Chains A and B, each alone.
Chain A
Amino acid sequence: MSEHIVSRKVYFAIFGVLMVGTAATVVVAFIDLGGQFNTVVALTIAVIKATLVVLYFMHVRYSSRLTWVIVGSGLFWLGIMFALTLSDYWTRGWLPPR
């Protein structure tokens, strides 16, 4: 399994995007987008930043499928914990109080 060496240009490009994303997140935070939209935008930017770090800085883009499965499983399991716990909290109000 030969090792793929990511070029410096890619690293600097990703770095640039990350810094721009940070600035954008801060700027947008002060603008009222209505309802939960601020959170959605902030989290979307965060997810994009994290994905770039994972793919390029952590070399997952060039790694084996096993690595992808491991990363995916970790996120999936986090999702399970969130989803099933929220299935309790978000449905508690459904029953009319006696």
Chain B
Amino acid sequence: MAEGYVATEHTHGHPALQHHFENMEQQREAGTLGMWVFLVTEIMFFGGMFLAYLIYRSAYPASFAAASNHLDIKLGAINTGVLICSSLTMALAVYSTQLGQRHLSIIFLIVTMALGLTFLGIKGIEYHSKYTDSLIPGKLIPGRPFSPEVAKPGEEGNTHKLHLIPGATVQNVQMFYWIYFALTGVHALHMIIGVGLLSFILYSSVRGRYSPEYHAPVEISGLYWHFVDIIWIFLFPLLYLLGRHLE
């Protein structure tokens, strides 16, 4: 048995086939599996923050309800709708690539990215209103520590002031906002990464790199995008809808 060190014969397959894989199917399987394993790490990453939310919400239910009611439910609901639309367009982008409809897939990718940026824009508006109401927790903004104005009885109409329900304290409202910014901030970061990822996919699509035979990167990016949507599907009710029935 000769111990050769002659170079392994190249399987001249698809130009996108990497040298250490035997065939495109193995490469696709590995790539998909890799993204799923990565998403599991993301579940655990967000999970830590969800755990903190759960514990403090159980400890300070009134404060959390009061703080949640101060969030803009209209913007939150619109953002939820925006992300669900973007999941649809992402799925359709993958679908079009599977069928070789390059122009359609490019359009869907662009729409998905636009919806993602819309989400981020709306989030920015929300963050700004928190800033003006001095609801950014602790000393995150050095010149503007957490110091919301508390509404007195009779000031129900004022949306810039914090309405405390019985049992709520400003300190524990700050705890809510700490968790709110941690969760939505990390989520927004993942959205930004997602948009970046899709821009790379868009570029490759425009260059004609994908086809019915080779579109694994589009599928895999889709998995990431849907996952970020799922996180928001949980964030919305947990952060925005807590205490609406107490309003």
Contacts and interface: CB of A to CB of B under 8 A. Distances in A.
Given A43-B237, A45-B237, A57-B91, A29 B244 contact: yes
B37 to A, nearest CB: 6
Interface residues of B, number: 49
A78 interface: yes
B6 interface: no
Interface in A46-65: 46, 49-50, 53-54, 56-59
B125 interface: no
B208 to A, nearest CB: 20
Interface in B221-245: 222-223, 226-227, 229-230, 233-234, 236-238, 241-242, 244-245
Contacts of A75: 43
A88 to B, nearest CB: 10
A13 B23 CA distance: 35
Contacts of B245: 29-33, 38
A8 B32 CA distance: 22
B88 A53 contact: no
- The prevalent SS among residues of B at the interface is helix
A77 B44 contact: yes
**Centre residue among B51, B54, B230, B247 by max chain A CB count within 10 A:** B230
B232 to A, nearest CB: 10
Interface stretch (B77-85, B137-145, B153-161, B173-181): B77-85
A15 B83 CA distance: 11
Interface in A68-91: 70-71, 73-75, 77-78, 81-82, 85-86, 89
Interface footprint category on A: 35 or more
A26 B51 contact: no
B37 A30 contact: no
A94 interface: no
Contacts of B44: 74, 77-78, 81
Given A14-B88, A19-B84, 15 more contacts: A5-B99, A11-B92, A18-B87, A25-B237, A26-B241, A29-B245, A30-B247, A32-B245, A39-B242, A54-B226, A57-B222, A70-B40, A78-B43, A82-B51, A89-B58
Interface of B: 25, 29, 32-33, 36-37, 39-40, 43-44, 47-48, 50-51, 54-55, 58, 73, 77, 80-81, 84-85, 87-88, 90-92, 95, 98-99, 219, 222-223, 226-227, 229-230, 233-234, 236-238, 241-242, 244-247
